[in-house]
């Protein structure tokens, strides 16, 4: 057994690590937040791979143990502590090798982007003349945040990427824009003058046949984003399914806010119809937790790329049902409804055109209650005063997200002012303990622990079908089903 373990461990140690990568760990504190998250992700993966390499599964008894350094461990916690204490250097080597491999891949993918930057002459015709607009009007004054997307054929995404970057920089806009062969998806912030010019430029571009109503607006500005990120991707919304395999052209029927409101009204008026109709929230659990439509089904998923698996594992729930789908701005419903339609199990599939954003413009006191989560520094916007979430420490009504106070943790936490004053600012018990000791142990602990409790205890894909195949839809952000083997309520401590 010892020889087998030694051989298994050596497989990881045989990875070649260049000296330049080893120096990376010394410079880790100089990495940006996104780079640190990426580096820490590879460290967690490397740690898990090392632990798996010493795992021993008994086929007869069905038990699992780990053998390392002449010792046998029967508990996860025990082997984790051993690896963290005795094999940190090996895990570090794995991490650095994987991180170096990623950097090389990114460099290769960035080469086409560098080439498109050279084509400034080709994109200059699409840059509006703003000579009559003062720099002060572009930088200072009342502002707003734009949210938009448009599906269409883009023959050269890199040229569009270069144009968008040049346009936003000229207008002093910040935000995030994804360009792909299937279209464009963006959210940008700036002054009212700058964002109006941006909309005009988008409407006049020959590739995008957009209308002004395609843009959703909210109060804000350039300060709502830390910087400007423009890139070329395979999908303009990351569902993780090849657009060639499931195209947006297969999407469900669009309903404008008035039509969607009438459908929800009819659903709520006739409770018997709930057996035939599902009001489906396509967003992540932390979004629906603070705001949602009354009596919706809100899957307990952490990101949209889990949505296809959620559909696959819950097909019987949707069989012969009428489905009303909604999301923040409409884009996730485009691909999500297309994927659901491709399964050919639903009676009808509809989606809210323009998403919750457009619905709230028409019905600020309608059937959507609570806050609307947005992916910028604001975290939420609102049109009504309902608070449907609670502080995960004391349980009092609270729906204002903050980042976990523990270094390198990017989880969101609902902690009311009273609890925050008491120092309750972390997303889970392990992060709270780590936060209390990280200053004392900063010199000894270079990396955060392998997994945050909030994500470690959460089922990746929930099963929303009971043993009888029935569905219970409640006015809660996370739906718990009778007879289900999966706890849908998430982490007991953080209610997330």
Instruction: State the catalytic residues.
Output: 327
In three-state secondary structure terms, 230 is strand
In terms of phi and psi (left: phi > 0; alpha: psi -120 to 50; beta: otherwise), the region of 107 is alpha
CA distance 280 to 479: 11
CA distance 485 to 490: 13
Distances (CA, A) of 348 to 332, 356, 463: 18, 20, 22
DSSP secondary structure code for residue 249 in this structure = G
- Which of 357, 164, 382, 393 has its CA nearest to residue 260? 357
CA distance 73 to 90: 19
Containing 103, the helix (H) or strand (E) segment is: helix 88-117
Buried b (16+ CB within 10 A) or exposed e, 130-165: beeeeeeebbeeebbbbbbbbbeebebbbbbbbbbb
* HSE value, Cβ hemisphere, 13 Å, CA-based, for 369: 11
**To 10 degrees, what angle do helices 88-117 and 33-53 make?**
140
Distances (CA, A) of 64 to 3, 59, 60, 76: 19, 9, 11, 9
In three-state secondary structure terms, 459 is coil
DSSP secondary structure code for residue 373 in this structure = E
- Order the strands of the 143-151 sheet from edge to edge: 216-219, 143-151, 183-191, 174-180, 228-232
In three-state secondary structure terms, 131 is coil
Buried b (16+ CB within 10 A) or exposed e, 66-101: bbbeeeebeeeeebbebbbeebeebbbbbbbbbbbe
Containing 370, the helix (H) or strand (E) segment is: strand 368-370
Using CA of residue 160, residue 161, residue 163, residue 168, what is the dihedral sign? positive
* HSE value, Cβ hemisphere, 13 Å, CA-based, for 196: 9
In terms of phi and psi (left: phi > 0; alpha: psi -120 to 50; beta: otherwise), the region of 243 is alpha
């Amino acid at each position: 057994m010892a020889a087998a373990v030694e051989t298994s461990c050596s497989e990881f140690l045989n990875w070649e690590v260049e000296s330049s990568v080893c120096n990376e760990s010394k410079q880790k504190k100089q990495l940006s937040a996104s780079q640190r998250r990426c580096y820490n992700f590879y460290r967690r993966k490397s740690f898990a791979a090392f632990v798996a390499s010493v795992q021993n599964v008994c086929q007869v008894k069905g038990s699992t143990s780990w053998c390392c350094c002449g010792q046998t461990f029967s508990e996860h916690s025990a082997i984790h502590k051993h690896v963290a204490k005795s094999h940190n250097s090996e895990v570090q080597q794995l991490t650095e090798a994987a991180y170096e491999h990623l950097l090389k891949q990114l460099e290769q993918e960035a080469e086409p982007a560098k080439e498109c930057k050279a084509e400034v002459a080709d994109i200059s015709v699409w840059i509006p003349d703003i000579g009559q607009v003062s720099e002060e009007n572009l930088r200072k004054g009342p502002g707003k945040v734009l949210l938009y997307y448009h599906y269409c054929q883009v023959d050269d995404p890199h040229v569009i990427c270069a144009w968008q970057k040049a346009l936003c920089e000229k207008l002093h806009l910040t935000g995030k824009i994804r360009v792909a062969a299937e279209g464009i998806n963006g959210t940008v912030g700036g002054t009212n003058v700058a964002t109006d010019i941006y909309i005009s430029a988008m409407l006049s571009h020959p590739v995008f046949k957009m209308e002004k109503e395609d843009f959703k607006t909210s109060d804000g500005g350039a300060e709502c984003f830390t910087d400007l990120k423009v890139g070329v991707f395979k999908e303009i919304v990351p569902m993780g399914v090849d657009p060639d395999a499931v195209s947006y052209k297969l999407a469900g029927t669009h309903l404008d806010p008035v039509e969607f409101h009438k459908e929800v009204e009819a659903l709520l008026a006739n409770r018997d119809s709930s057996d035939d109709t599902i009001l489906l929230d396509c967003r992540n659990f932390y979004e629906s937790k603070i705001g949602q439509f009354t009596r919706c089904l809100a899957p307990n998923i952490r990101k949209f790329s889990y949505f296809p698996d959620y559909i696959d594992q819950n097909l019987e729930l949707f069989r012969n049902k009428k489905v009303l789908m909604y999301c923040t701005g409409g884009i996730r419903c485009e691909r999500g409804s297309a994927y659901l339609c491709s399964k050919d199990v639903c009676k009808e599939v509809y989606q809210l055109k323009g998403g919750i954003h457009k619905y709230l413009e028409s019905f600020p006191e309608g059937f959507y209650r609570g806050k609307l989560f947005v992916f910028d520094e604001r975290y939420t916007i609102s049109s009504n005063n309902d608070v449907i979430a609670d502080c995960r420490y004391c349980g009092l009504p609270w729906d204002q997200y903050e980042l976990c106070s523990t270094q390198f943790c990017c989880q969101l936490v609902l902690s009311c002012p009273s609890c925050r004053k008491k120092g309750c600012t972390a997303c889970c018990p392990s992060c709270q303990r780590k936060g209390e000791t990280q200053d004392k142990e900063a010199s000894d602990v270079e990396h955060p622990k392998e997994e945050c409790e909030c994500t470690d205890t959460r089922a990746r894909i929930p099963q929303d079908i009971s043993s009888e195949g029935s569905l219970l839809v409640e006015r809660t952000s996370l739906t718990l089903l009778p007879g289900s083997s999966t706890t849908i309520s998430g982490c007991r401590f953080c209610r997330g």
